[in-house]
Structure 1
Amino acid sequence: MKPLRAVAVGAGHYLPDRVVENAELESMMDTSDEWIRSRSGIERRHFAAEGQKTSDLAIAAARMALDNAGFEASSIDALVLATATPDQTFPSTATRVQHAIGMTGGFAFDIQAVCAGFIYGLANANALIVSGQAKRVLLIGAETFSRILDWNDRTTSVLFGDGAGALVLEAAPADGTPEDRGILSTNIYSDGQYNDLLYVDGGVSTTQKAGVLKMQGREVFRHAVAKLAEAGEEALLTSGLSVEDVAWVVPHQANLRIIKATAQRIGIPMEKIIVTVQDHGNTSAASIPLALSVANQDGRFQRGDLLLMEAIGGGLAWGAATLRW
């Protein structure tokens, strides 16, 4: 019996209607378009409308991904939602999405690994498919980070945006070689000693409030470049491939300087890097699936292309994955 691979068969995304250019932020705080661009590469971002929830963004991205795959929601066995900004403390935002899209069976759950959430989600979705527990998995990353920004902190509040991205994965028999389509490797890591580098200063059991985002930007940058490069190299090694085999890198869209420094360290030219941070800002768990869907919609991916994905977020939690499109 041939082994199973989790093959990507559909992608989708959603961005709120409100576009916030850097110039708008200049009127809100002591910052400038030049300052934001030079430090992050960000030119604009999208913010959710009043009353618009993380689940609303996720539902829209999920529907687009299902349309792209040609599937009905009722055919999905598992829905995995990566988010650090859920609608409620409980139940999971995933179950709200499950009901809204018409997924009448199977199961749904949230994953919380902040910006690394989508990579953690890929690891879980892959395990569900390879083990035979699910034949089709809808994996979503969705965030409304605008709800937890400190508008008195110009160094962090200008970096983030809202959005959602989704990927439909389906079980398919494979030969068990690096030439197979689908997920070839997922490598995830965490180290709690770095909790204070990037966190939200609130929570149910501490302040009973959502809190706002706090970040030591310089330290996060230093860890991000080293850890992302190592994770990317390990993911390629695990899948039996090399840098030369990579068609595209789809990195977490946190900061253009981090993206460039990581690419240089791994040895991959910028021409092979999918970059959307200029238009979306840092959308945390949504950033990789958002970038995947945008690039797929633009026709950049060809069947058989090897994709390397990598992300790091609060925790610190980080990881990388390889997928043959």
Structure 2
Amino acid sequence: MASAVITGTGSYIPSIKKDNSQFLENSFLNTDGTSFESTNTIIIEKFKSITGIEERRYAKTAYNSSDLAFFAAKNAINDANINPEDLDYIIFAHNFGDVKEGAIQSDILPSLASRVKHLLQIENPNCVAYDILFGCPGWIEGVIQAQAFIKAGIAKKCLVIGSETLSRVVDKFDRDSMIYSDGAGACVLELKENSNSGILSHATQTFTKDEVYFLFFGNSFNKGLDQNVRYIKMQGRKIYEFALNNVPKAMKFALDKSKIDISEVKKIFIHQANEKMDDAIIKRFYRLYKKPLPNDIMPMSIHKLGNSSVATVPTLLDLVLKGNIENQEVKEGDIIILASVGAGMNINAIVYRY
């Protein structure tokens, strides 16, 4: 049978580091614009204990999200050792477009996928480039779409990218701004006949009745600023509870469809949103099968890279496959799960044999 196989991965990690101590002079405010009673030292210590984030990466002023995506895409194409002219699709997952440093305004004309195709200097008009807006699970959803094209016989080679410059859409008066970071990850999926590797199953869900505005664009907590300018905002507690209640079930749904026993799962690559939340999700997932949580099942990059939304999972996957995360590796034949949750509210998961 034909399979959709990841033949190359790539990532781009921006060079500018910002550690937690660099937020000590920030003026963090409550939603009503009042100051916190706690000092920034206490706020930051509590932040680290919950999220696990010690530092994050920001892009240089000269680079936009599409530039980061181009760098990651080139690395993935080189890793797959393919001619970019042979690509049938370029699928670009993001949420905020290109945002120039200092300007909270999204630029998505032309599409970011088209910009990457231009930067790659691809002449083939049959290489279709389009963007996908799906919250943090966007890159995984792009992989699912690429697999659908391949299985349907519409495509043989697809490039899927996730890139974001979240540092440019955050309210510096909101303590949640410390979560977000910049980065890009990409992969090449190819049609492989009679292959044992590839996507075995997947699941995607969207919850909107009560959950649609858990993540949204809102005004700065500093009421003295222009209230026509909006920033990324979230209802953190509600997202936390939503993720714990729903992500393990979606992962189970995908795994059950694959007919793979949970004991065969070697790694789970989950969206790097919050270390405490991710730990709880994985524990609940194994609890659904009445199984103990294996050691080192969940690689993490959030401690040093923060939350770069759609870029977290492909970046983490690339780092592990290239041997750049200590005590983490994926071997041939391993079963892995890719999973994410984010704005929408959307959840998805892929079961993959490497």
TM-score, structure 1 length as denominator? 0.92
Corresponding residue for 2:87? 76
Question: Which residue pairs with 2:266 in the alignment?
Answer: 247
Alpha carbons 1:186, 1:235 under 8 Å: kept? yes
1:18 corresponding residue in structure 2: 16
Distance in 2, Cα, partners of 1:248 & 1:134:
28
Give, in angstroms, the shift of residue 211 of structure 1: 2.3
Deviation at 1:270, TM superposition (A): 4.6
Q: How many residues align?
A: 314
Are positions 1:186 and 2:205 aligned together? no
Cα pair 2:26 2:173 within 8 Å, conserved:
no
What is the Cα deviation at residue 103 of structure 1?
Answer: 2.4
Deviations 1:93-139 (A, max 9, x none): 00100111122221111111111111211110110111111101111
Q: Specify the code of the residue in structure 2 equivalent to 1:66.
A: I
- Asked if residue 168 in structure 1 is aligned to residue 184 in structure 2, the reply is no
Deviation at 1:75, TM superposition (A): 2.0
The correspondence for 2:150, drawn from 129, 140, 144, is 129
The 1:234/1:210 distance shift into structure 2, 3 A limit, reads farther
**Could you list the per-position Cα deviations for residues 38-63 of structure 1 after superposition, in whole angstroms to 9, with x for gaps in the alignment?**
11001111111223200010000001
Distance in 1 separating the partners of 2:280 and 2:229: 33
Rounded Cα–Cα distance in structure 2 between residues aligned with 1:29 and 1:258: 26
State the alpha-carbon separation in 1 of the partners of residues 121 and 61 from structure 2: 25
Q: Who is 1:263 aligned against?
A: 282
- Distance change >3 Å, CA 101–CA 270, structure 1 → 2: farther
Counterparts of 2:216 and 2:339, CA distance in 1 = 20
Report SS of the residue matched to 2:349.
strand
- The CA distance in 2 between the partners of 1:181 and 1:283, in whole Å, is 28
Asked if 2 retains the 8 angstrom alpha-carbon contact of 1:119 and 1:186, the reply is no
Matches within 5 A, 1:4-43: 4-30=2-28, 31-32=40-41, 33-43=44-54
User: Could you say which residue in structure 1 is the equivalent of 2:36?
Assistant: none
- Give, as a single letter, the amino acid of the residue that structure 1 aligns with 2:145: N
CA contact under 8 A between 1:79 and 1:137: conserved in structure 2? yes
By how many angstroms is 1:182 displaced? 0.5
Of residues 337, 341, 346, the one that matches 1:308 is: 337
SS of corresponding position for 1:80: strand
State the partner residue of 1:114: 135
Kindly, what percent of the aligned residue pairs are identical?
Answer: 31
Letter in 1 for 2:305: H
- Who is 2:309 aligned against? 284
For each residue in 1:293-322, what CA deviation from the matched residue of structure 2 results, as whole angstroms up to 9, or x when unmatched?
000111711111111011010110111111
- 1:253 positional shift: 0.4
Preserved contact between residue 119 and residue 188 of structure 1 (Cα < 8 Å): no
Q: Deviations over 1:249-297 (max 9, x none)?
A: 0000000011110111112435111111111111111110010000011
CA RMSD of aligned residues (A): 1.8
Looking at structure 1, the residues matched to 218 and 150 of structure 2 have their Cα atoms a distance apart, in angstroms, of 36
User: 5+ residue gaps in structure 1?
Assistant: none
1:225-240 alignment, distance < 5 Å: 225-240=244-259
Q: Which amino acid in 2 is paired with 1:198?
A: L
Structure 2 alignment gaps of length 5 or more: 29-39, 99-106, 220-225, 287-292
Determine helix, strand or coil for the equivalent of 1:172: strand
Secondary structure in structure 2 of the residue aligned to 1:113: coil
In terms of Rg, which structure is larger? 2
Conservation of the 8 A alpha-carbon contact between 1:263 and 1:269: no
- The amino acid of 1:191's aligned partner reads F
